[in-house]
Chains A and B, each alone.
Chain A
Amino acid sequence: MIRWLVGLIGLGVAATSALAADPVTIGVGYLGIAGTRSTLSLAEQPAENDGLAGARLAIEDNNTTGKFLNQRFTLEERRVKEGEDPVQAATALADKNGFVIADLPADALLKVSDALRERGTLLFNVGAIDERLREADCRANVIHTAPTRAMLADALGQYLVWKKWSRWLLVVGSHNEDRLFADALRRTATRFGAKIVQERTFEDKGGARRTDSGVTLIQRQIPVFTQQAPAYDVLIAADESEVFGAYLPYRTWDPRPVAGSAGLVPRSWDAAQDQWGAIQIQNRFFKLNSRRMTALDMQAWTAVRMIGEGTSRTNSGDIKKVTDFIKGPDFSVAAFKGTRLTLRDWNLQLRQPILLVDGRMVVSVSPQEGFLHQVSELDTLGYDRPESKCKLK
């Protein structure tokens, strides 16, 4: 009986494959860190599948297109636990997948990219915003869909300067990445003619993010921390570590708006973005994942769509062919930001408009009007070709 059934199934398979040639399969790996980080706002706590959910939607989108081209996309996920070697997981993914989406910290990403260099695997950095990955530590096998700190800082700075809020009170956290964001903001101020009237450090003395009487305490703490500041227009927080930024709005000693890591925040994407046809991807994303789309989701979606764009334009699943096309001069991708997105050929960073969001609405989109550039206005955001230290290899 069973043998008879197996025979029947085998027959069915033979019949379908006789109708159409087997589709070309394009394997995409997703490499991330296990666990999620804690945010000050419970409402902003990332989902466990943050990023991955965007990749999943792009796989669906690519497969809808793929059925007309006889191409099929698959997604394989691996998570690295603390203390584990990311190279092992990356190698296992690269065994079956020519493209790997990586949401890793900078050091882990570098290790992985160096380990996979000989294989010809193309990596997409969707999570790390570190400048050095596009500058001194750039790699020829890593494409960056995540914006950099300098791009985010410039996007915010252009708007504040346009608004004529050019006196900034900068409050910096005590962790390394907070200081890196502060560096980027200082560079922005110099570039666009804003003035940092004073800098303050918010020391992380430890403590829980979830408490039962937190508001009472914070309401007393923040006005004291922000008092006696020189005259300023806007307080800018550099707090990537989520220690104090979200505590600042409405609690400053002087009634001033907050921007940076809280208040008006620069991001590649937001759940409120609905312009340029974006409502369509927002709806598709919600239908598939039962939650709203984050910046990391969009960065992963864009990476997987870039692969799909490469395979459909070259009509091929060949990794080298697709990689060459993506890195080539004719490549561009549409990602609901009102303009085509292209790669900076000197460091493989994706050019992109940056949204300025307040948690409920998209307030503005940079580059702002009047910030001009001889090649692309998108290159007014972040480090430009002449400043770049990147030598791709």
Chain B
Amino acid sequence: MQVEVRTQMLRMWRVGLLSAMALVAAPAHAFIAYVSNEKSNTVSVIDTETWTVTKTIKVGQRPRGIDLTRDGKFVMVAVGDDDTIQVIDAKTQTVVDSLPSGPDPELFAQDAAGKTLYVANENDNTVTVIDLEKRARLGDIQVGVEPEGMTISPDGKTLINTSETTNMAHFIDTATRQIVANVLVDARPRFAEYKHDSSEVWVSSEIGGTVSIIDPKKHEVIGKVTFEIPGLRKEAIQPVGIGMTRDDKTAFVALGPANRIAVVDVATRKVTKYLLVGQRVWHVAFTPDEKYLLTTNGVSNDVSVIDVAAQKVIKTIQVGELPWGVAIAP
């Protein structure tokens, strides 16, 4: 009897607390984040208001690169071991179609209009060009060994692909689909990111342990971001994903088995802070309002949420096994 009353009181108190919390947290828009889980063969759907997983979508084998179509209607996920990119309907949250990539697609980039998709196929040294409307393959571009990182210049004229064993950033003219320059960077370049003002391209080198900053006009490395964490051996610092704020002031670099995100001042190219996240952090994505940054932590099977303004980790969300990539609906 007594127990029952107490439970009831507790429930009322909890409801009160929850509504109070909801009031405090209310102003932020709710977004939907999609996380590819490389080992589980699933995509976890996260509600950014409650920070909970609302659905787990079964996809093909070895999902890695993930992004939304520009209209936000579809989620594209590269399922490497099925040699295709699957298309998920964001409304029904089910796989509805697939795109004709080359063998073992890993990462991809789309142009500003969302009409053309460029896919890095790790297994055959090519980048595949896909017409997104027709969902048809337009052609291939030969690049270096193990293509991975992909990004497009803000004006859409230049595509950059990094090749992991060739150790280069290939600058490709999107009109002619020809390589116009090859820039040597440190070992195993994984990811490339343009500054929003187009003045620099940042390329992370996982094994080299650095981020190379390239002048996209001169095609030269003009600087490097280096990392040093006291008490941590150098080999554990393996930069992969990069997220840059829209004002081009701050970059967040995922450092893999160092289990940290480096906060980098873009102007001085110096690390100002290291944020401890989950284990083996690889990729990052901002919420569209840039209030939060989500990181995928492969070995601890979770996603860390960083408050961008406060530069603090505020939440950890359990997802599937070996979370790899993350994309957030506009």
Q: A65-B144, A334-B207 are in contact. Are A313 and B184 (CB under 8 A)?
A: yes
For residue A177, CB closer than 8 A to chain B, the reply is no
Per the 8 Å Cβ criterion, residues 131-164 of B in contact with A are: 144-146, 163-164
B168 contacts the other chain (Cβ, under 8 Å)?
A: yes
Nearest CB in chain A: distance from B39 CB, A: 12
User: Per-residue CB proximity of A323-340 to B under 8 Å, as 1/0?
Assistant: 000000000111000111
Task: List residues of A (369-393) whose CB comes within 8 Å of B's CBs.
Answer: 376-378
Q: Which of B193-215 contact A (CB under 8 A)?
A: 207-209
User: Chain B nearest CB: distance from A376 CB in Å?
Assistant: 7
| A333 and B168 within 8 A (CB) | no
Interchain CB contact under 8 A, A68 and B208: no
Of B182, B187, B257, which contacts A68 at CB under 8 A? B182
Assembled-state Cα–Cα distance A309/B146 (Å): 15
Is the C-beta of B233 less than 8 angstroms from some C-beta in chain A? yes
Judged by a CB distance under 8 angstroms, whether A64 is at the interface is yes
Are B144 and A280 closer than 8 Å at their CB atoms? Answer: no
Is there a chain A Cβ closer than 8 Å to B318's Cβ? no
B-contacting residues, A57-71, CB 8 Å: 61, 64-65, 68-69
- Shortest CB-to-CB span from A69 to chain B, Å, is 8
- B178 in the interface, Cβ–Cβ < 8 Å? no
Name which residue of chain B comes closest to A312, CB basis. B184
Q: With an 8 A cutoff between CB atoms, is B7 at the interface?
A: no
Question: C-beta contact mask, A294-312 vs B, less than 8 Å → 1, else 0?
Answer: 0000000000010001001
Q: Is A221 an interface residue (CB 8 A)?
A: no
Is B283 in contact with chain A by the CB < 8 A criterion? no
Residues of A within 8 A of B170 (CB): 68
Given known contacts A68-B179, A333-B187, A61 and B235 CB-to-CB distance under 8 angstroms: no
The number of inter-chain residue pairs (CB within 8 angstroms) is 64
Chain B residue nearest to A65 (CB atoms) is: B166
Give the Cβ gap from B63 to chain A, nearest Cβ, in Å: 15
Alpha-carbon separation in the docked complex, A343 to B241 (Å): 28
| Contact, CB under 8 Å: A64 / B125 | yes
Is B165 part of the contact surface with A, judged by Cβ < 8 Å?
yes
B209, A64: Cβ atoms closer than 8 Å:
no
Among residues 209 to 229 in chain A, which have CB atoms less than 8 Å away from a CB atom of chain B? none
Interface presence of B297 (CB below 8 A)? no
Inter-chain contact B187/A334, CB cutoff 8 Å = yes
Within 8 A of A (CB), among B282-301: none
What is the bound-complex CA distance between A309 and B184, given in angstroms?
11
Most A Cβ at <10 Å: residue of B163, B188, B207, B234: B207
CB-based contact B182/A340 at 8 Å: no
Residues of B at the A interface (CB closer than 8 Å) are 104, 122-123, 125, 144-146, 163-168, 170, 179, 182, 184, 187-188, 207-209, 233-235, 257
Binding site for B on A (CB under 8 A): 61, 64-65, 68-69, 277, 280-281, 283-284, 305, 309, 312-313, 332-334, 338-340, 376-378
Could you jot down 19 A-B contacts, CB within 8 Å?
A61-B166, A64-B145, A65-B165, A65-B166, A65-B167, A65-B168, A68-B182, A280-B122, A280-B123, A280-B146, A283-B104, A309-B167, A332-B207, A332-B208, A334-B167, A340-B187, A340-B209, A340-B235, A377-B233
